[in-house]
Every structure is written in C-alpha cells, then in structure tokens.
C-alpha cells in the first residue's frame, strides 16, 4: 500500500471521529435530560444546557489555540 492511500485512509478515519463523538455526547445529554424529567427535576435542565454551552465554547477556544500554535510553528 503506497503512502497516498494510507494518508487517505487516515483522513477518512479522522473525519469519522468527530460526528461519532458528537452523536455520543448527544445521547449522553438526552439520557441526562430524561433522568432529570423522571426524577421530577426537569427545572435543572437549564444547568445542563449552560454546561453544554460552556463546553462548546471551551472546544472552540481549544481549536483556535491549536490552529494558531500550528501556524506559529510553520
């Protein structure tokens, strides 16, 4: 197998990680919301939503930081 085909395989493998992990996070979030509703604590869902927003913002900051670091190295 030549290097180009191996690189293409790595790109495809890497590209499938993000949607798969995103779907998994969505399932966990849905399970937590369902648990809160069943426990009669559905008003606490706003805290889960706020935490999700904070995590998304942290992911964007990490992405930008990583991109800028890579640009500085080149």
- The residue with tokens 């395989």 is 9
Report helix, strand or coil for 74: coil
- Contact predicate 45/33, CB 8 Å: yes
Q: Which residue has the tokens 């606490």?
A: 44
- Does the pLDDT of residue 74 top 90, yes or no? no
How many residues does the structure list for the chain?
74
Residue-wise pLDDT for 14-71, tens only, equals: 778 888 998 999 999 999 999 999 999 999 999 999 999 999 899 899 989 988 887 8
What domain range is 20 assigned to? Answer: 3-73
* Total of domains in the chain: 1
Model confidence at 7, pLDDT cuts 50, 70, 90, reads: low
Average pLDDT over residues 7-19: 78
């Amino acid at each position: 197998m030549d290097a180009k085909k191996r690189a293409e395989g790595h790109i495809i493998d890497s590209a499938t990680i993000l949607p798969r992990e995103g779907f998994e996070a969505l399932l966990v979030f849905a399970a937590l919301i369902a648990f809160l509703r069943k426990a009669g604590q559905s008003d606490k869902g706003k805290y889960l939503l706020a935490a999700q927003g904070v995590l998304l913002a942290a992911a964007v900051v990490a992405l930008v930081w990583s991109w800028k670091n890579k640009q500085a190295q080149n």
